Chains A and B, each alone.
Chain A
Amino acid sequence: MSAAIIASDKVVSMTAGSAATSVRAANEAVPAAPPVVAAAPREPRTPVSEILLSIFKAVFPPIAGMVLLIAVWALLAGTGGSIPGPLPVWEAAKVLFADPFYNNGPNDLGIGWNVLSSLQRVGIGFGFAALVGIPLGFIIGRFAFMNAMLDPIISLLRPVSPLAWLPIGLLVFKQADPAATWTIFICSIWPMIINTAVGVQRVPQDYMNVARVLDLSEWKIVTKILFPSVLPYMLTGIRLSIGTAWLVIVAAEMLTGGVGIGFWVWDEWNNLKVEHIIIAIFVIGIVGLLLEQFLLLLARRFSYGNS
């Protein structure tokens, strides 16, 4: 949420500060001229070496971090105990990813199928949460009465672990699969409602004044002012929701069984294939990272050049 708040502050400061920056730019134009002239002669470093340096600066720290992680892991594995080291895990991964989509019946599916079916559950649960949560967030943000009415309910239910809702899901749906989806729905809905509502409440008063002066219809207010203005907040809500959903699905599937990355982790634990559990940890991490990056990319697309 904090990212979206910062973004909105930028909107405000941009409107107020743009003229100030133009003044500053005008003032800086005069003293800035001499250094440009002076900079021309001193250029001993070739551009190629500079590019290489910048690539090094960008690439080296993350690589160093990964190397450190693997080193600590190897060290821990080497001190005895039952944690497999990086090499055995790498060998197991090669076998596993040689055929990620094999199908030996419902209880023995490749890791690809497991990830996809987890993603599907997250998608469905999240989709329903968006369908309910976004409109609800708009209503809460727009009408103080609804905010006052629903705030205690949300405050009460939000801290509850989504897994506590799993038995209710099993009771209602009588099946494991919709129950897991239901858990995702519950955990996804809170960030969506809250971020959308905050976004609506934080629509700059200037824009609402424009709406009032133009006497726009409620439809135009929603489509031309509220929705575009709230969109960055909504995308933050979506990002948080999907992040939480991806956390929760692993735990939910461990409990419900069936097909899915969470169930797969538990199954491999029962088979005592610890290498596979470590692979699963990496897979879950990478999928989560990709989801996050994709949504960040989407959010940047709709930030209206505030950066």
Chain B
Amino acid sequence: MSKVIVKVENAGMSFDTKKGKFVALRDIDLTIAEGEFVTLIGHSGCGKSTLLNLIAGLTLPTAGNLFCDGREIAGPGPERAVVFQNHSLLPWLTCRENVLLAVERVFGKKEGKGKLKARAEAALEMVHMDHALDKLPHEISGGMKQRVGIARAFAMEPKILLMDEPFGALDALTRASLQDELNGVMEKTGATVVMVTHDVDEAVLLSDRIVMMTNGPAATIGEILDVKLARPRDRLKLAHDHDFVECRAALLEFLYQKQVKKAA
């Protein structure tokens, strides 16, 4: 197994509420290796986003430890880039400036202005957004905004990319094209990714491993599924692929039989 990028040891997260202590996550143990694409899947409220925020350092665990590249995660940092569900582009900056803000933070001390700009533009080109470098976020569609969000994260050349339901707010067709885009970028960069999703097909299509979370409160890792499909993956061919169907079935079984969500 290649180098470990993120290690989660016995992590737990609880919140103090008016009704007392609320345990969101418990006993999470997970290691993520370099170049791996790991998906966290589970019903809503299972704490998958909480786990992602712990890795991002946006929240700190109330139990256990998390490490990134051997160092304890004590807060957020640019080596763990986050793609937010709602893209979170700054509306007063153009696409280029949004990416540049991230690039400057990471490479600003070492590289000149021209080089930084080239980096930002290359990242936008990678997600096929080079036609909208000088557009403001409100001038482009939701799918395009998310592309820019992904470009911003990739441009930082992070050790690990954390994606919180990155395609959750998009329509099915846009989502599919962005998934293919992401698969392409993954092959080019070999990035390490942790992604939260509730979409079974998306999980199987993109992942090397799928972490299935039990229902909250006190959610934890239920099962881990290895997806041994060859890359590059083609969604049309995979639709009839035996292994793909098996993986999908295993996920569905876990989500709708073992972890039945009570009617909300």
Contacts and interface: CB of A to CB of B under 8 A. Distances in A.
Nearest to B105: A214
B91 A304 contact: yes
A104 interface: no
Interface in B135-189: 136, 138-139, 141-143, 145, 156, 169-171, 173-174
A206 interface: yes
A225 interface: yes
Nearest to A212: B76
A305 to B, nearest CB: 4
A69 B225 CA distance: 77
A215 B138 contact: no
Contacts of B170: 19, 22
Interface stretch (B39-47, B78-86, B110-118, B120-128): B78-86
B91 A20 contact: no
Interface of A is mostly: helix
A213 interface: yes
Contact of A224 (B80, B90, B142, B145): B90
B11 interface: no
Nearest to B83: A213
A21 B138 CA distance: 13
A77 to B, nearest CB: 52
Contacts of B48: none
Contact of A18 (B80, B84, B136, B145): B145
Contacts of B105: 214-216, 220
B93 interface: yes
Contact of A215 (B77, B88, B91): B77
Nearest to A26: B171
A206 B88 contact: yes
Given A215-B78, A224-B93, A228-B92, A209 B139 contact: no
Contacts of B32: none
B139 A16 contact: no
A20 B81 CA distance: 26
Interface string B57-90: 0100000000000000001111011101011101
Given A14-B138, A215-B77, A304 B92 contact: yes
Given A215-B76, A215-B77, A305-B139, A23 B84 contact: no
Given A22-B141, A207-B90, A209-B76, 6 more contacts: A18-B142, A19-B142, A19-B169, A19-B170, A214-B78, A214-B156
17 contacts: A15-B87, A18-B141, A19-B170, A20-B169, A22-B143, A22-B171, A26-B171, A207-B88, A210-B88, A213-B80, A213-B81, A215-B77, A220-B105, A224-B101, A304-B92, A304-B138, A305-B139
Interface of B: 56, 58, 75-78, 80-82, 84, 86-88, 90-93, 101-102, 105, 136, 138-139, 141-143, 145, 156, 169-171, 173-174
